[in-house]
Amino acid sequence: MSGRGRTALRGLAALGAALGLPLALLALWWVASEDSTHVYLPPLRDILEAFGRVWFSETFVGDVVPSLRRLGIGLGIAFVLGVTGGYLLGRSPLLRGLASPALAYARALPPPVIIPVLLVAVGIGETTKIVVIALGALWPILLNTCDGVRDVDEVARETAAAYRLTGWTRRRLVLRAASPRVFAGLRQALGLAIILMVVSEMLMSTDGLGFTIVQFQRSFALPEMWSGVLLLGVLGFVLAKLLELVERHALRWHRGMTGRQESST
Amino acid sequence: MGTAILYEVVARVFFDPRHVPPLSDTLPEAVGLLGDPVFWTATWRTLLAAGTGVGIAAVAGIGLGFGIGSVPRLLRVVSSTLDFLRPIPSIVLIPALVFLLDITQITVLLVAVSCFWIVVFQVLYGVRDVDPVAMETARCFRMGRLARTVHVTWPTVLPYLGTALRLVVSVALALALTGGLVMGAAGLGELIWRSQEAGDVTGMYALVLLTGGLGVGLDLLARLAERRLLHWHVATRPEAAR
Amino acid sequence: MSPAAPSRSRPRHLRRRLVAATTALLLGGVLVACGDDASSTDEAGPDEDGLTTITLASAPLGHLAPIHLAQEHGIFAEHGLNVEVDTENSELTSVPSVLADRVDFATGDLTTLIVARSKGLDVKAVVPASASTGVPGEDYGALVVDGDSGITRPSQLEGRTVSVNILTNIAAAAAREAVAADGGDPEAVELVELPFPQVPAAISTGRVDGAWVVEPFLSAAQAEGAVPIGWGFTDLAEDLTVSSWYTSGTFAEQNPETVEAFRDAVREAYAYARDNEDEVREIIPTFTDISPEVAESITITGWRDEVSRAAAEKLVGYALRDGLITEEPDLDELILP
């Protein structure tokens, strides 16, 4: 009992720490905006009222679910491509030199420039939105993995040579050693992917959270728009927490190997 | 060069030249733009907005990242708020921001906010990656907090910052362009928007071509800067020989 | 701190505000930092040479040609105005810019203004910025399909995808009405948002079945094989005001003479533009990237002197029908007499 009780208590404490500041900020916002007459900055009361009205309805299923699906697929593709590409680039200076200009070129183009090209290439369906999300979320994962692999590769190569390790064993060793960097990239990519989800749904959409927020904005339904922004924040928070759980699980060995304490971020 | 040939083939095979013109059409147009002072003014404005934004983001992101990252208790309290704010696209805040700032400043802010997130998360992850053994050693040597940060934390975080630098330059450029595309902020984004609004497809792609080139140039600079910063670091050693 | 000089210099402790706003944003209190900021005194008074300076939000769009003609021919100066054109604007920022007093006049389509008014935003329509030519078959906006699609009338678009530039504006109303006027059910048409510049490619590659589009993209789409099957504007109303110059209620109240002078100057410019179409076509390439050849051949927007009350009433009805608004706005409040 005592062990379980302590875990529960620790969980509560962590939850309290996590929710304390956001709640305090919300309270501050509530008080500051209480008698706001500014049409673009409605009182938080109105926003929360709109939140209940808009998102606790079929809108949630009709808009949030498709958005989450796009987000999941896009981020998944970005992860696979990012880790594979990052690993290959990290291993080979030659490849890095060859591919860097093209990658830098692609990175510099914002979605509003890419979307028209995608429109002609892949049409206006789900594919375009997923491609936009995947393309944008790819870079943090790719660069972080590439740099992480580059960091450990030399050491790993010497180690592997000393122990006569070959092929997959060595690849696994390198990727594992680089995994803190991979997760840093994934964390970056998650935030970016949510933003890109909204951006990709601004064009040629008929559903989705981003689509709904933009429609509210365009029809000056501002409390409703802000409620959508709040929902995005909640979504980001929940997904980041999930990612953290995965990461803690995946990096247990890393902390164990290097004597790091259990630190919750 | 290979990329150019690939693009040419893809453009010619898959696309109608009226929608995605091949390089042979866009190149002359792009060269023409290079002789146009309007283009250089716009480039300068875009770079200025991107640079200012990056500056703000670097100071705020590194300061906050180290500040929050070195105090575990503070990190536990603040991280949820960071996760909550991270996914909010600045684009939906633009109409409200118009009441506070002019379009140029909003563009700088868009860049700064987007880059700030990249810097702050990279720093936080870097701080977390600090070797506890090294930290303990430093404590045994009676190093103060500042000395520990300078001699232990900073070297660990630098490689993470190197990656952040390369991410940030392209994000800054993309966001500065977005400011022009969605708000008409003066700069390259606005030129692209104008050519879109006029249905001048070739002109638009010429601008996109040059913009991408600018991105490549900035990336090169960022990689050089990273090499200067990290010349002691194992990852960049083989690079230095090239 | 502020990279380029702001387009207008009102004393606004910019640096302090930028720092405050940045901090506020980063700390998540974007809302906490700012109360009601619309400056309540914006008296536009004459300067030393007797001219009153006004700022217009402008975009590189062909229908604004008369404004540039008026600048060229000194029509604004005759009416005691010195006009500054602010090009750092887009439809995303124009309403807040007017309400926040960054510009004195901007253009917006009538449906958007009706929605804004219905939601309690204090906007006042002063004088049309563009109007339907009123001639079906010769208007500057149309509902188009690909020539090989086998679709010949708007009602056949039921169950298909049709693009408009914005779902909550007059283009969407026009697209729906073109279908309704042909006996079709507009509800059965799936409208999607697609910016006008992307329409020619989307139609010719079959990404959308139909599109409601305006010049110069109407001509561009036709050059790629698209055919107009409905007009929309003329279905909405006989004398449709498409978009209008508008200002904020505060500005109109404090500067009635300035608003009056602006309206008179614009009307004079329209009279000139109607009589000198060749000059209109000549001036379009100077402030947009539209090439002289294209400017020669496109259908020119209509310009009218009065914001049509009858058309506005119809648009209110459509906005109610399409669920854009739930309560009728007071048109007396929206349209300046």
Which residues have C-beta within 8 Å of that of residue A240, sequence separation ≥ 6?
A187, A190, A191, B83, B86
What local confidence, expressed as pLDDT, does residue B4 receive? 65
- For B14, the closest of A121, A139, A147 (CB atoms) is A121
Residues of C in contact with A38 (CB under 8 A): 34-38
Residues of A in contact with C161 (CB under 8 A): 124
Residue C144: helix, strand or coil by DSSP? strand
Give the pLDDT band (50/70/90) at residue C252: confident
What local confidence, expressed as pLDDT, does residue A73 receive? 92
Residues of B in contact with C292 (CB under 8 A): none
Answer yes or no: do C32 and A202 touch at CB < 8 A.
no
Q: What is the mean pLDDT of chain C?
A: 80
Q: Which of B84, B161, B195 to mutate to test the interface with A (most CBs of A within 10 A)?
A: B84
Greater confidence, A166 or C40?
A166
Bridge-based pairing of strands C210-214 and C141-146 is antiparallel
Structure tokens at C259: 């608003």
3-state SS, one letter per residue, for chain B: CHHHHHHHHHHHHHCCCCCCCCHHHHHHHHHHHHCCHHHHHHHHHHHHHHHHHHHHHHHHHHHHHHHHHCCHHHHHHHHHHHHHHCCCCHHHHHHHHCCCCCHHHHHHHHHHHHHHHHHHHHHHHHHHCCCHHHHHHHHHCCCCHHHHHHHHHHHHHHHHHHHHHHHHHHHHHHHHHHHHHHHCCCCHHHHHHHHHHCCCHHHHHHHHHHHHHHHHHHHHHHHHHHHHHCCCCHHHHHHHHC
Residues of C in contact with B100 (CB under 8 A): 17, 21, 33-34, 37
Answer yes or no: do C34 and A202 touch at CB < 8 A.
no
What local confidence, expressed as pLDDT, does residue C183 receive? 85
Q: What is the mean pLDDT of residues B66-93?
A: 81
Return the number of other C-beta atoms located less than 10 Å from residue B44's C-beta. Answer: 14
What local confidence, expressed as pLDDT, does residue A255 receive? 55
Answer yes or no: do C3 and B52 touch at CB < 8 A.
yes
Answer yes or no: do A124 and C202 touch at CB < 8 A.
yes
Answer yes or no: do A38 and C96 touch at CB < 8 A.
no
What local confidence, expressed as pLDDT, does residue C83 receive? 83
Q: What is the mean pLDDT of residues B165-184?
A: 82
What local confidence, expressed as pLDDT, does residue A221 receive? 84
What local confidence, expressed as pLDDT, does residue C33 receive? 39
- For C88, the closest of B16, B93, B184 (CB atoms) is B184
For C162, phi and psi rounded to 5 degrees?
Answer: -130, 135
Greater confidence, A110 or C15?
A110
Determine the distance in angstroms separating the CA of B37 from the nearest CA of chain A, rounded to an integer: 22
Segment C147-164, tens digit of pLDDT = 888 888 888 888 888 989
Q: Picking from A116-120, B216-220, C5-9, C39-43, which range would have the lowest pLDDT averaged per residue?
A: C5-9
What local confidence, expressed as pLDDT, does residue A77 receive? 92
Q: Under a CB-based contact definition with an 8 Å cutoff, are residues C275 and C73 in contact?
A: no
Determine the distance in angstroms separating the CA of A89 from the nearest CA of chain C, rounded to an integer: 34
The single residue listed with the structure tokens 């905006």 is A33
Segment B195-241, tens digit of pLDDT = 888 878 888 888 888 888 888 888 888 888 877 777 665 544 444 33
Q: Picking from B67-71, B74-78, B140-144, C118-122, which range would have the lowest pLDDT averaged per residue?
A: B140-144
User: Is pLDDT above 80 for C292?
Assistant: yes
Q: Picking from B11-25, B222-236, C22-36, which range would have the lowest pLDDT averaged per residue?
A: C22-36
DSSP characters over C268-324? HHHHHHHH-HHHHHHHHHHHSS--HHHHHHSPPPB--SS--HHHHHHHHHHHHHTTS
What local confidence, expressed as pLDDT, does residue B6 receive? 63
Chain A partners (3+ C-beta pairs within 8 A): B, C
Determine the distance in angstroms separating the CA of C75 from the nearest CA of chain A, rounded to an integer: 34
DSSP-H helix ranges across chain A = 2-33, 44-55, 58-59, 65-91, 93-108, 111-122, 126-163, 167-200, 209-218, 222-250, 252-258
Maximum pairwise Cα distance, chain A? 72
What is the H or E stretch that residue C220 is in? Answer: helix C217-223
Q: Rounded CA gap, C242 and C307, in Å?
A: 9
Q: Which of C93, C123, C146, C296 to mutate to test the interface with B (most CBs of B within 10 A)?
A: C93
A120-154 per-residue burial string, b: 16 or more CB within 10 A, e: under 16: bbebbebebbbbbbbbbbbbbbbbbbbbbbbbbbe
Q: What is the mean pLDDT of chain B?
A: 79
- The alpha carbon dihedral of C20, C24, C27, C32 has a sign of positive
Q: Calculate helix-pair angle for B201-229, B154-183, nearest 10 degrees.
A: 170
- For A220, the closest of C121, C197, C205 (CB atoms) is C121
Q: Picking from C29-43, C82-96, C123-137, which range would have the lowest pLDDT averaged per residue?
A: C29-43
Which residues have C-beta within 8 Å of that of residue B53, sequence separation ≥ 6?
B107, B108, B109, B110, B111, B112, B114, B115, B172, B175, B176
What local confidence, expressed as pLDDT, does residue B231 receive? 64
Task: Report pTM.
Answer: 0.80
Residues of C in contact with B104 (CB under 8 A): 2-4, 6, 88
For C37, phi and psi rounded to 5 degrees?
Answer: -105, -5
Q: Picking from A93-107, B95-109, C76-90, C224-238, which range would have the lowest pLDDT averaged per residue?
A: A93-107
User: Is pLDDT above 80 for C254?
Assistant: yes
- The alpha carbon dihedral of B132, B138, B144, B147 has a sign of negative
Answer yes or no: do C119 and A39 touch at CB < 8 A.
yes
Contacts across the A-C interface (CB distance below 8 Å): 83
Q: What is the mean pLDDT of residues C1-17?
A: 43
Chain C partners (3+ C-beta pairs within 8 A): A, B
The single residue listed with the structure tokens 């002072």 is B37
What local confidence, expressed as pLDDT, does residue C7 receive? 41
Segment C215-228, tens digit of pLDDT = 888 888 888 888 88
Q: What is the mean pLDDT of residues A236-255?
A: 78
What local confidence, expressed as pLDDT, does residue C235 receive? 80
- For C29, the closest of A25, A116, A206 (CB atoms) is A25
Determine the distance in angstroms separating the CA of B139 from the nearest CA of chain C, rounded to an integer: 33
Percent pLDDT > 70 in chain C is 85
Q: What is the mean pLDDT of residues C7-12?
A: 42
Q: What is the mean pLDDT of residues B133-162?
A: 77
Answer yes or no: do A101 and B87 touch at CB < 8 A.
no
Segment C48-67, tens digit of pLDDT = 667 888 888 888 888 888 88
Which residues have C-beta within 8 Å of that of residue B37, sequence separation ≥ 6?
none
Which residues have C-beta within 8 Å of that of residue C5, sequence separation ≥ 6?
none
Nearest-by-CA chain C residue for A35: C35
What local confidence, expressed as pLDDT, does residue A2 receive? 57
Answer yes or no: do A220 and C116 touch at CB < 8 A.
yes
Give the pLDDT band (50/70/90) at residue B102: confident
| E strand intervals along chain C | 52-57, 81-86, 106-109, 123-131, 141-146, 161-164, 190-193, 210-214, 226-230, 241-248
Q: Which of A147, A196, A239, A245 to mutate to test the interface with B (most CBs of B within 10 A)?
A: A147
For C185, phi and psi rounded to 5 degrees?
Answer: -105, 110
What local confidence, expressed as pLDDT, does residue B3 receive? 61
Segment C162-186, tens digit of pLDDT = 989 888 888 888 888 888 888 888 8
Segment C65-106, tens digit of pLDDT = 888 888 888 888 888 888 888 887 777 888 888 888 888 899
- For A108, the closest of B87, B92, B173 (CB atoms) is B173
Give the pLDDT band (50/70/90) at residue B9: low
Structure tokens at C197: 């510049």
Residues of B in contact with C217 (CB under 8 A): 199
User: Is pLDDT above 50 for C35?
Assistant: no
Return the number of other C-beta atoms located less than 10 Å from residue B91's C-beta. Answer: 23
Percent pLDDT > 90 in chain B is 0
Q: Under a CB-based contact definition with an 8 Å cutoff, are residues C176 and A186 in contact?
A: no
Sheet arrangement for strand C106-109: C106-109, C241-248, C123-131
Q: How many residues does chain C have?
A: 337
Give the pLDDT band (50/70/90) at residue C41: very low
User: Is pLDDT above 80 for A110?
Assistant: no
Residue A5: helix, strand or coil by DSSP? helix
Nearest-by-CA chain B residue for A104: B216
Q: What is the mean pLDDT of residues A187-197?
A: 85
Residues of B in contact with C28 (CB under 8 A): 81, 84-85
Structure tokens at A162: 């000393």
Q: What is the mean pLDDT of residues B140-156?
A: 76
Structure tokens at C37: 């900021």
Segment C260-291, tens digit of pLDDT = 888 888 888 898 888 888 888 888 888 888 88
User: Is pLDDT above 80 for B110?
Assistant: yes
Alpha-carbon distance values, C81 to A83, A104, C76, C84 (Å): 62, 49, 5, 10
Burial class of residue A207, CB neighbours in 10 A (0-12, 13-18, 19+): middle
Q: Calculate helix-pair angle for A44-55, A2-33, nearest 10 degrees.
A: 120
Percent pLDDT > 90 in chain C is 1
- For A29, the closest of C31, C112, C192 (CB atoms) is C31
Chain B partners (3+ C-beta pairs within 8 A): A, C
User: Is pLDDT above 80 for B81?
Assistant: yes
